Structure 1
Amino acid sequence: MEPENPTILPRRKKTRKRPILLIFFAILLGAGLGMYGYQFVPSSQHEAPSFDGNGKPVFYKRAMLDKPADGKEDAIKLPFETVQELIDPTMIYEEASESTIITTQDKVIRLRTSQLTGMLNEKPFTLKFPLEKVKGSLYLPMEPLKQLYAFELRESSATGAVILVKEGDTIEWAKTIAYPDKPNKTIPMRSGPTIKSPIYADVPQEEEVMIWSEEPEWYKVQLTNGYQGYIRKEHLQPDHRMETIPPLKEPPPFVPTKPINGKINMTWEQVVTKTPDATKFSPMPGLNVVSPTWFHLEDGQGNLKNLADPAYVKWAHSQDIQVWGLFSNGFDPKITTEALATYDKRMKMIKQLLSFAQLYSLQGINIDFENVNVKDKDRLVQFVREMVPLMHEQGLIVSIDVTPKSTNENWSVFYDRKSLIESVDYMMLMAYDEHWASSPVAGSVASLPWVENSLTRMMKEDHIPASKLVLSVPFYTRIWTEETVNGKTKVSSRAVFMENPQKVIKDKKLTPVFKSEAGQNYVEYKEGNKLNKIWLEDEVSMKARMDLVKKYDLAGVASWRRGYEVESIWPLIENSLK
């Protein structure tokens, strides 16, 4: 049946879907806005900071050290390892005598565990608090060390934390902002660089904090109580304070008594059993220091053999010549190891030398330790560090002889030249024996390029200042003999005085040839089936060496040894040093 009005369609039933969808989307939008807003809401959660169970932590440049401090205020102590690492790397602990030994420019301090009496330059003094072992670790009282080094221990009474700052350290300080209208408001220090990180501490307004690092909107800071965290940049005042720890006032440096006419012109006097009669010496113009080989290590207990002669000293002083007594280890590695092993033995040697120096009115001591085991490298340095302050206290000059650098352990490697120069007044470079007595090939005792390279290498690699470096030159050479034995060349040599080759040249009517690669004159001649070769030590080679002294402005020259030279050498050296 057709509808009555075909132009009107039937109505659909009403639906509620659209309002439901709108409500759903509104809820989602609200939730999204809520979540979006939530990320800008700072967390108010608090979390207590900790020192990881460390009861009295020590901090240096924000890092918490492995071992804690002990005691408090004036009685505060730090572990030996901490002091050695951060305050004085040269400090040593001697297990055998339970002694801590500290050496500075002018002091030698010995502190023994559990004792209140220490030794300063071998004179007793009293400590308020002793060294002691705490849970197996050695702890040093800090109060006496503050007299020796520029450092501070800033202890928090609230947490017990200790902040170590030392000479040259720079700390950046900043203050938290102020809210004049909200005096009780605090500034949050959080565990991480985000507002969602828990709050470690509510920092008061205008509280100083140390700044250690920077993030885009945050600073990593440390409070004076040791706790660390992050504070937003906007919560710190823009003006920061820089604190630099000033150095401790150093004692005036020891100034060696200069030889009468400026640069050092020293020669060694070899004494085997008896010192020669100096009144019979030929003139040596320009000589201003002699070093007689008088004192020798006799045994592993530190006893010394003494060959000194007062008459020789009297002659030297009458000629305005200083006397630097030589102290040798006898070139015996075994007894050297034993004698250097303990503080007591080292000090025994030092005290004997001090006594000899006073008895014979010496102006210095020249240390000549050779053929030393490389394992004793550090102990030799320690011996010199302990020796020099006591020598300087008596006004004595201390020098040490070293070989050129090489890979030979007992000849060269055992010298820690860089450390030794920090203590001694002068270092003598024994620039000879490039080709030694038993060398498999013939060659110069000290060719000029080898000598110069030995000099510059030490100056560059070990930072030896020219003002402390003395070039030691040979007054001898070697006559090399080459012969063919069973089809092979056999090489032998003998050391001779400077004068000997000149006699050979005259007797055999030889003509020296200048070898530019060695910077020396050279001769050779045959005796039967043997070929003899001589790299001459003469005025030509000596003048070349003196030019090196002038070129590098060295402290002077030393020669091995008096009696090997020709007389004309002395005026040459004197004129070159002027």
Structure 2
Amino acid sequence: MKRIGKIVLAVFLAVLLTALLGGLLLVLGNRAGVGVARAIVARIPSIRTAEPSQLLPLDREEGLNVLYEGEVLELEDPPVFHEGQIHLPYAFVKDYVNDQFFYDPDEQVLSYTTYRDVLRMGEGETSYRFNGETRSLESPVVELSPGRLHLPMDLVETYADHGMEYKEELNVLVVENPTETGTRARIAGWLPGAALRVRDNHKSAYYRMLKRGETVWIHWEEGEWVRITTEEGLAGYVKAGSLGKREEVPAVPTKLDQPDPEPLKDFDGKLNLTWHQVTTLAANRNVEAAFQNVRGVNVVSPTWFEIADEAGTVKSIADPSYVEWAHARGMQVWALFSNAFNSSRTHEVLKSTAKREFVVEQILEYVRRYGLDGINIDFESVAVADGPYYVQFVKELAIPLRKEGVVVSVDMYVPSPWSVHYGREEIGKYIDYLIIMGYDEHYSGSEKSGSVASIGFVDKGVRETLLEVPKEKVVLGVPFYARLWKETGEGEAMTRSSQALGMNAIQTILGQRGVVPFWDEETGQYYAEYQAEGATYKIWVEDLRSLEEKMKLVQAYGLAGAASWKLGLENRGVWDVLSQYLE
């Protein structure tokens, strides 16, 4: 009745004011009078009311409205009550609350990764294992219909910083993040209250009158208007002048597990890794000859493991005597683990939770059997659609390896639009080192001849990687090879081919041809070109000088070290150059 009385009074005042304005117009009888009247009318606040259902349209049978940090979310699949418990849609949880949940719809398994453990639970289960203990839920993870996975709110709240409170009167779930500083205030001023308006305009309709002394939460201020949320879960705008003193609510510390800021490290100086390409078990016996002239290397990465089939079998050509030999000479062994650059096989293995677990189990067994110090993950040619599977796999492999003190490194392309799906920033939180493959700027299938690793290409790759991964974890991969390009014909009829050559082979060919290369400041390399057999040959040389230009970047950006591809292609002098910058 009080509200009706206020409305009647407001209508009466409006009518009275209109009559007065009419009289004013008759007296003035000119354009100035009309202008004054219109200006007065424009300042009169609207007395139109709006129902909360305009903001929060869902009833309980349709689902729950969601007010997320002051904004009403229009979700295609809203939260629902299931068996008396609130269940949150998987997509909402991933997008707004915690993106570490990962669902396998084929095997109906939900995974959750912290930085130190992996949670698994099946659809319909009311318990799960985490950190070695069994935990129970009031309600299970359920797929209400094909493709509509819902997580019980008590599970999500356990692994989220967000506070969630259901307001039954308005059927709204209010979601806030207490780890961010909040602001609240009380309705104040000389008036008995303030109108909570739909929009930031005094001509907008209002939901209700807020009482003086009523507490509201402030989300943002735009000029004279403030976006607020009331205690009952209604959001809208009030005039800034109707709020009293702002009170800052301190942020609370996150309860979520945090990544280790520093990588695992058990060697002096910076990382000086070299890859040793081993293709057969017997080839391991050549390790001593391969390292005859090597100096300063503290980690060797032999190419020992790869996914061999779509079942997830990991093929191994590891040799325990190789590990013993390296350890005796003060070198750690970080065995390379590859997907054999097979996109379809990679898809079949990584999309399956069971197969990912199988791969992880095998790698862990190999690590223990051979006493390995680290694993170097080298998965290339991963399809864009498989990016989420790849990221999840790296996390699931890194977690148990690091728990056993095993260093985890990942080989990564330089940042580019086509490699975003590799998730540098996300996996960088879980691994010890991210090794930039600072080469293959131009490769065998390139549409034009060019450098393998021009200094601009490498510098840009480092700078952009550092936007996503801290320098303490970033390692620069450098090439011991270049490409000799052969161009035949002209224009559209030109054919192009190339071959990769090691540093010594490059100098041999240039000497045989009597070609003297010249230094190209733009690429940071020597460049040579010659004619032979009706073709033009071009090469951007990798040598000690070009290598030093790249090592200057390691020093300038404070990177964790360098990795070289590959042992056997180098000039003997490279080890002195590397050591100079990595000691």
TM-score where L is the length of structure 1: 0.78
Give the CA deviation at 1:202. 7.8
Residue 248 in 1 paired to residue 257 in 2? no
Contact kept, 8 Å, 1:44 with 1:199, in 2: the verdict is no
Q: Which amino acid in structure 1 is aligned with residue 152 of structure 2?
A: P
Q: Which amino acid in structure 2 is aligned with residue 430 of structure 1?
A: M
The aligned residue for residue 315 of structure 1 is: 325
C-alpha deviations, 1:198-233, integer Å up to 9, x for none? 884785x74423345779998665432224577787
The aligned residue for residue 536 of structure 1 is: 541
Structure 2 residue runs without a partner (length 5+): 1-14, 22-40
Give the CA deviation at 1:337. 1.3
The aligned residue for residue 177 of structure 2 is: 166
Matches within 5 A, 1:58-77: 58-65=66-73, 66=75, 67-70=78-81, 76-77=86-87
Higher gyration radius (CA): 1
Residue 265 in 1 paired to residue 272 in 2? yes
Matches within 5 A, 1:104-183: 104-120=114-130, 125-134=135-144, 137-156=148-167, 161-176=172-187
The aligned residue for residue 276 of structure 1 is: 284
Moved more, 102-111 or 566-575: 102-111
Residues 189/322 of structure 1: CA separation in 2 closer, same or farther (3 Å cut): same
Indicate the structure with greater helix content.
2
* Residue among 366, 380, 384 paired with 1:356: 366
C-alpha deviations, 1:93-152, integer Å up to 9, x for none? 322122333233333222322102324378754334311245774332233333432121
In 2: Cα distance, 1:301 partner to 1:424 partner: 25
C-alpha deviations, 1:58-110, integer Å up to 9, x for none? 3223334442453799x543232322221123533322122333233333222
C-alpha deviations, 1:411-435, integer Å up to 9, x for none? x565343444343332222222333
Residue 376 in 1 paired to residue 383 in 2? no
In 2: Cα distance, 1:232 partner to 1:457 partner: 44
In 2: Cα distance, 1:302 partner to 1:47 partner: 59
* Residue among 451, 455, 458 paired with 2:462: 455
Residue 367 in 1 paired to residue 377 in 2? yes
In 1: Cα distance, 2:175 partner to 2:115 partner: 23
In 1: Cα distance, 2:516 partner to 2:241 partner: 88
Matches within 5 A, 1:11-90: 49-50=52-53, 51-55=56-60, 56-65=64-73, 66=75, 67-70=78-81, 76-90=86-100
The aligned residue for residue 551 of structure 1 is: 556
Contact kept, 8 Å, 1:218 with 1:231, in 2: the verdict is yes
In 2: Cα distance, 1:105 partner to 1:505 partner: 51
* Residue among 427, 436, 449 paired with 1:429: 436
C-alpha deviations, 1:345-381, integer Å up to 9, x for none? 2222222222222222222221111223222223222
The aligned residue for residue 230 of structure 2 is: 223
Moved more, 120-129 or 492-501: 120-129
Moved more, 540-549 or 120-129: 120-129
Structure 1 residue runs without a partner (length 5+): 1-30, 180-184
Moved more, 495-504 or 326-335: 495-504
In 2: Cα distance, 1:83 partner to 1:265 partner: 42
Matches within 5 A, 1:166-205: 166-176=177-187, 200=208
Q: Which amino acid in structure 1 is aligned with residue 288 of structure 2?
A: T
In 2: Cα distance, 1:413 partner to 1:47 partner: 45
Contact kept, 8 Å, 1:113 with 1:132, in 2: the verdict is yes
* Residue among 201, 204, 217 paired with 1:210: 217
The aligned residue for residue 388 of structure 1 is: 398
Q: Which amino acid in structure 2 is aligned with residue 175 of structure 1?
A: R
Q: Which amino acid in structure 2 is aligned with residue 148 of structure 1?
A: Y
In 1: Cα distance, 2:337 partner to 2:202 partner: 67
The aligned residue for residue 6 of structure 1 is: none
Moved more, 224-233 or 496-505: 224-233
Moved more, 484-493 or 423-432: 484-493
RMSD: 4.1
Give the CA deviation at 1:489. 5.5
Give the CA deviation at 1:554. 2.0
Identity %: 32
Residues 426/195 of structure 1: CA separation in 2 closer, same or farther (3 Å cut): closer
* Residue among 464, 470, 483 paired with 1:478: 483
In 2: Cα distance, 1:525 partner to 1:45 partner: 84
In 1: Cα distance, 2:560 partner to 2:83 partner: 50
Residues 162/303 of structure 1: CA separation in 2 closer, same or farther (3 Å cut): same
Give the CA deviation at 1:305. 0.7
Contact kept, 8 Å, 1:69 with 1:162, in 2: the verdict is no
Contact kept, 8 Å, 2:104 with 2:351, in 1: the verdict is no
Contact kept, 8 Å, 2:57 with 2:65, in 1: the verdict is no
Residues 509/87 of structure 1: CA separation in 2 closer, same or farther (3 Å cut): same
Moved more, 443-452 or 544-553: 443-452
SS of 1:325's partner is: strand
The aligned residue for residue 285 of structure 1 is: 295
